[in-house]
Amino acid sequence: MQLSKILCLLFASTALSAATSTRRTSTSARAGATPAANAAVPKKLSPATPPTMADVKNSITNWDTSVKTVNAYLNDPQNNTKLQSAIVFAKDEPVQLATMMKVTSLSTSGQNAGKILMGNFPSIISNLNAVSAGSMSTNDATAAVNFNRCCTVLPAIGMLWQAAATATKMQGTVGMPILEDQCSQMSCSSGVSGGAAAVAANGSIAANRM
Ligand SMILES: *[C@@H]1O[C@H](CO)[C@@H](O)[C@H](O)[C@H]1NC(C)=O
Ligand SMILES: *[C@@H]1O[C@H](CO)[C@@H](O)[C@H](O)[C@H]1NC(C)=O
């Protein structure tokens, strides 16, 4: 039932915006945070090896949708429908990561960001699965995921997008991934992984997060 509903919404994103904006139980006040769930499954891409500029563009688009879908759940953590979508889309992120790591002449900072992401994606997916399976409390699991994403993963994703765009000579600017609501209430200065420290060392990423 839910799936067919989501599939309908996939082809009627305006209807979805209307539906999500009138959502009564939302814990999110941010309008920009909800378009997230407007696809039921990630788009299947067939990038060339090495990926072309168009491949990178499509990969960023897929990835951005996944980020927003996971954000939508983290902004509304009691909603099981959003949790299930988040799990499906979170699993597409490593697929896009693999594509971008194959880009020719990816900068060292891009490669490092990719390595950070490889190290961090498994725990995000397993924490989301743990909520779904009931083996971890929603609070504990989402706190872990929020910390990981806000402080390490989302900045690294932005760095990798920029590096892949630069390496393929993409025109225009590549935005940073949108942060979930919890990020604004979080201090990333203590207890961060080596990965986050590496990202934090890059001033342009800090600036881009604003
Ligand atoms: C949970 O999320 C789905 C998908 O966004 C939405 O259709 C539904 O109304 C939400 N449920 C509640 C109780 O907010
Ligand atoms: C910082 O990030 C920018 C954008 O990704 C990149 O161009 C630059 O090389 C990075 N600097 C360092 C020292 O990693």
More confident residue, 9 or 95: 95
Q: Is the CB of 68 inside a 6 Å radius of any atom of ligand 1?
A: no
Q: Whose CA is nearest to atom 14 of ligand 1?
A: 25
Average pLDDT (157-161) is: 97
Task: For a ligand 2 pocket test, name from 106, 109, 154, 205 the mutation site with the most ligand atoms within 8 angstroms of its C-beta.
Answer: 109
Q: Is the CB of 81 inside a 6 Å radius of any atom of ligand 1?
A: yes
pLDDT tens-digit series, residues 4-44: 433 333 333 333 333 333 344 344 344 444 444 444 799 99
Return the domain boundaries, the chain. 1-38, 47-208
Structure tokens at 37: 């769930």
| pLDDT at residue 192 is higher than 50 | no
Under 8 Å between Cβ of 33 and 63: no
